[in-house]
Structure 1
């Protein structure tokens, strides 16, 4: 592990392979939606997987390998996305500590594929939540219900040992405050699995200019609930660095990984020169 919070520039699969087992408390990743359908990225071999992983997990009486084959037949562009995401999720499983939690942020087009993968990699008993981040901004379709939410799948390394502290998270206003006592209305309620939160304002101070930037409030809630001060938080599709910003505000250590020079530039400007930076040379394609 690096000696301090760090920005790591390079291929995330290569960098993940260099990190020690069970060293991370929270992994949050927001991979590019539909990445495998529009880009060809190489994967490396030799990723250490969960023992007995291949074909070992049942789903309605079917093996993991059979599910993968059926999805491949259903959608002939599925293979690219699966090959891109699967080895990275295996590394996330390896890196999580026993009390660790994975948050995988996706849109509606890929969430069902990823759910099958995560059930197989982590085990269905390790599924904790499907979070819905709902917002109301942007164009409105008149030919279908407008799509205004993202999905965040939450899995834990060990369902008997994971850390979760609901008292540490921010509270929300009651939608009907007149139905509760004034004391409860003033305090607010604990969030459920549906989070109403605005996007990053195009004119707000939080805006970095990075196109896929997520609100720091979303990451603060995740990190506050699933880690403690001094724990390590990892984001290996780090983009604008929101995960690092939230982790630092909460007193956590963080590792931010990205291969995009624009993302690295935005993160270094946002987080300052006191954050350790290291560049990893790209490995040769397999």
Structure 2
């Protein structure tokens, strides 16, 4: 059972994220970072109609009691999919993300080149095109290189805000980068560094570095910390419900934020417990074998003496 409280401790939660999300209160989070599984499996083709409520008189059609709606019929096209219904899987979770953000809040959705275009259409529908803030390119230079095409060495982070007139963004809190040509600026500027653009050059987690947890898709703390610094304030709540190794939690600890990290994988929760347990309550799922053991112990304890 989710035990979130605004004045309570940070949480690491094991279990189906949609179940946990539906127990969390509206507008509780200043920033959400999502790194969902990338699609790399069988081809799917999906056509779906999505209906979104609009302010009265502004939608494309009028429904029950005069309510105004826009209807979007989307061909989500053919895509490589590790889930049979990947987009049916992602859409309700993005709707929950919108609900859970406060009015100054920001979503960072981390995807690769296979899915980002489809996800942007979906986020435009859910958040509104006016709420699109940035497309961030995370570029790195590590790993194998194909000779059959340009080697793929980047991922994409879509940035959407809850309310384009109220969102929080503080560039002065963000870690700065070195100038590529420091001789062209003053020594003072060179020493301070420059503000990042929407292209972030940042190494991956080193396979032999101290930051490595052993989790296969771990993202570097420096990458996520930059998002947390820009789009939340000290003391704010931040959320990741595809939490993996718990990098958002680690970035939140470094920057004095409170966090909720959710993952359905027991292995991921083990990694997060080791990494974050002194900073958060860890709630594990109750598994069938655990329940069976508990029943057996209870039966033995309560059985009458022979």
TM-score range, shorter chain: 0.7 to 0.9
- Counterpart CA distance in 2 for 1:64 and 1:108 is 27
Q: Following the alignment from structure 2 to structure 1, what is the Cα–Cα distance between the partners of residues 176 and 198?
A: 13
Q: How many residues align?
A: 262
Aligned residue in 1 for 2:283: 278
The structure with the larger Rg is: 2
For residue 182 of structure 1, report the CA deviation from its aligned partner.
1.1
Q: Does 1:65 align with 2:56?
A: no
| Structure 2, unaligned runs of 5 or more | 43-50, 61-69, 288-306
When normalised by structure 1's length, the TM-score is 0.86
- Aligned pairs for 1:45-84 (under 5 A) are 51-52=53-54, 65-66=72-73, 68=74, 70-72=75-77, 74-75=78-79, 80-84=85-89
- Alignment of structure 1 residues 33-182 onto 2, 5 Å: 33-34=38-39, 37=41, 51-52=53-54, 65-66=72-73, 68=74, 70-72=75-77, 74-75=78-79, 80-182=85-187
Structure 1: runs of 5+ lacking an equivalent: 39-48, 58-62
**Superposed displacement of residue 51, structure 1:** 3.4
Give a deviation string over 1:130-186, Cα, whole Å, max 9, x none. 000000011101000000000000000001100000000010011111111111111
CA distance in 2, matches of 1:113, 1:164: 26
**Which of 208, 225, 230 is 2:213 aligned to?**
208
CA distance in 1, matches of 2:94, 2:167: 18
Counterpart of 2:256 (choices 251, 259, 265) is: 251
- TM-score relative to the length of structure 2: 0.81
- SS of residue in 2 equivalent to 1:51: strand
Task: Note closer, same or farther for the CA distance 1:193–1:241 as it changes in structure 2 (3 Å cut).
Answer: same
Matched-pair contact (CA < 8 Å) for 1:28–1:104:
yes
1:76 CA displacement = 8.9
Off by >2 Å, runs of 4+ in structure 1:
49-53, 74-79, 279-282
- RMSD in angstroms over aligned alpha carbons? 2.2
Distance across 2 between alignment mates of 1:177 and 1:142: 33
